[in-house]
């Protein structure tokens, strides 16, 4: 970046491109955008801003304004809370550093591909995640059309950007998620707190998503309607918009797991509390302690009981649930023999395990119903029993024409 009078410029292919006032944020952002678009071969669509013009005079709306309004809209909407977090990351880390002062209707498909190129280079996300984030950016412009902040032709052009196919340069794909073996779960359970131990076993029995286990509330469980099973009503879940209300039937083994955590709680309270799990952990540490407890520690414990300095969320979220399991695995591997080490696994693998077991014993339709999927193709991604079923069928096969061929 060079200087011409009071303005910052770059020279490219014999032409001078003015970026803005020397040293200004506008000029620095324009230079970063120039480098990114040059690297991603999208430079021809870069808007050139003359010194006599201000960005706000070229178009009424800027990308920074649209992004702020869209984030407020997402936060106020009744969509899943992770959607807001994802949008915030996309805009703050990839879109706005390059295009904050850019006119909304000048944001072209090549600009979108430049942002996507930065995602690829960052190596933070797999190919499928990058495609998902690209769709979310386009959704922001659709909101702009709805609010008359953006022209329809801008959105139509962005929708023509093709998704990244498997094997696209610079991208990577995660290996398919496999079900966690029962033996691995059994190895891990002793190192979990009783609360987490119950959550893991309940998820294995029901095939619930980690978030659905974490957010279970006392009022969500109907213990009266059905004499055989309790009913966990998932009024707000991932597929609620497509299949409506989803009910999970809790069998007697599941009821035995949940019942102790319902006692003494109000209807709106979470069944599984991080605070209770932490108290269980401290109780275990105290029981395992070999040295005597010092008077000063007894005094600190009393003070914390009346005025706790650390507070906990009302219920777990998927991230905290996963971290707690990983902590238990690390703790277990410190005391286990090298040939008994627990492999790393995540709560979503329990859902895969539940689907696979159900598919093998009850069939694909039952697994689809357990998981609450709208299509069997989606269930096949979770249930991994097809090969075992195919092998069982193959072993039973008999060639009815074998005798006829032998006679001839």
* pLDDT tens sequence across 217-250: 999 999 988 888 888 988 655 544 444 567 888 8
Pairing label, strands 2-4, 7-12: antiparallel
Question: Which pLDDT value is given to residue 344?
Answer: 93
Give the C-alpha separation, 257 to 247, whole Å.
18
What is the per-residue burial (b if ≥16 Cβ within 10 Å, else e) of 319-333?
Answer: ebbbebbeebbeebb
Cα radius of gyration (the chain): 28
In a domain, 143, yes or no: yes
In a domain, 372, yes or no: no
Kindly report, residue by residue over 243-261, the tens digit of the pLDDT.
456 788 888 899 999 999 9
**Is the separation of the CB atoms in 350 and 203 below 8 Å?**
yes
Give the C-alpha separation, 62 to 59, whole Å.
7
Pairing label, strands 15-21, 7-12: antiparallel
In a domain, 99, yes or no: yes
Question: Which pLDDT value is given to residue 47?
Answer: 41
User: 């992004």: which residue's tokens?
Assistant: 67
Give the C-alpha separation, 329 to 327, whole Å.
5
In a domain, 92, yes or no: yes
H-type helices in 17-108, by residue range?
25-39, 55-58, 63-76, 81-90, 96-99
Question: How many secondary structure helices (H) and strands (E) does the chain include?
Answer: 21, 6
What is the per-residue burial (b if ≥16 Cβ within 10 Å, else e) of 94-112?
Answer: bbbbbbbbbbbbbbbbbbb
Token representation of residue 326: 């990983």
User: 């069944």: which residue's tokens?
Assistant: 271
Cα distances (angstroms) measured from residue 74 to each of 52, 264, 370: 36, 36, 31
The residues with which 7 forms a beta bridge, in sequence order, are: 4, 21
pTM value is 0.62
The residues with which 221 forms a beta bridge, in sequence order, are: 232
In a domain, 245, yes or no: no
Question: Which pLDDT value is given to residue 384?
Answer: 59
Q: Domain count of the chain? A: 1
**Is the separation of the CB atoms in 118 and 94 below 8 Å?**
yes
In a domain, 108, yes or no: yes
Kindly report, residue by residue over 114-171, the tens digit of the pLDDT.
999 999 999 999 999 999 999 999 999 999 999 888 999 999 999 999 999 999 999 9
Q: What percent of the chain has pLDDT over 90?
A: 37
DSSP state of 91: I
In a domain, 295, yes or no: no
In terms of residue numbers, what domain contains 77?
A: 2-158
Confidence of residue 46 (pLDDT cuts 50, 70, 90): very low
In a domain, 19, yes or no: yes
Q: Kindly state the average pLDDT of the residues 94-122.
A: 91
Sign of CA dihedral 354, 356, 360, 364: positive
């Amino acid at each position: 970046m060079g200087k011409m009078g009071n303005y910052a410029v770059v020279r490219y292919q014999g032409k001078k491109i003015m970026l803005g006032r020397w040293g200004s944020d506008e000029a620095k952002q324009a230079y970063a955008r120039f480098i990114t678009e040059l690297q991603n071969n999208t430079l021809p669509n870069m808007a050139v801003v003359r010194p006599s013009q201000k960005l706000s005079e070229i178009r009424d709306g800027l990308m920074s304004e649209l992004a702020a309004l869209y984030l407020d809209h997402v936060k106020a909407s009744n969509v899943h809370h992770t959607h807001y977090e994802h949008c915030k990351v996309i805009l703050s880390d990839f879109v706005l550093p390059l295009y904050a002062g850019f006119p909304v209707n000048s944001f072209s498909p090549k600009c979108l591909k430049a942002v996507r190129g930065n995602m690829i280079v960052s190596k933070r996300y797999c190919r499928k995640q990058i495609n998902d984030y690209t769709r979310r950016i386009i959704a922001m412009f659709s909101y702009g059309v709805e609010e008359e902040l953006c022209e329809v032709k801008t959105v139509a052009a962005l929708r023509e950007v093709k998704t990244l196919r498997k094997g696209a340069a610079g991208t990577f794909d995660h290996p398919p998620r496999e079900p966690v073996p029962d033996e691995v779960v059994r190895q891990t359970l002793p190192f979990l707190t009783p609360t987490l131990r119950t959550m893991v076993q309940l998820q294995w029995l029901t095939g619930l998503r980690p978030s659905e286990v974490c957010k279970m509330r006392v009022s969500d469980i109907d213990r009266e309607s059905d004499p055989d099973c309790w009913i966990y009503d998932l009024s707000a879940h991932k597929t609620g918009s497509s299949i409506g209300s989803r009910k999970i039937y809790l069998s007697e083994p599941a009821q035995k797991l949940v019942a102790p955590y319902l006692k003494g709680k109000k209807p709106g309270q979470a069944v599984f509390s991080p605070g209770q799990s932490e108290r269980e952990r401290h109780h275990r540490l105290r029981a395992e302690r070999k040295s005597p407890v010092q008077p000063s520690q007894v005094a600190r414990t009393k003070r914390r009981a009346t005025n706790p300095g650390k507070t906990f969320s009302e219920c777990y979220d998927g991230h905290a649930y996963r971290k707690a399991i990983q902590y238990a695995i690390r703790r277990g591997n410190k005391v286990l023999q090298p040939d008994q080490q627990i492999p790393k696994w995540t709560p979503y693998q329990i859902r895969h395990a539940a689907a696979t077991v159900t598919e093998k014993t009850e069939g694909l339709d039952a697994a689809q119903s357990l998981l609450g999927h709208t299509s069997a193709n989606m269930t096949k991604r979770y249930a991994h029993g097809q090969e075992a079923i195919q092998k069982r069928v193959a072993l039973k096969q008999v060639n009815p024409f074998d005798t006829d061929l032998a006679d001839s």
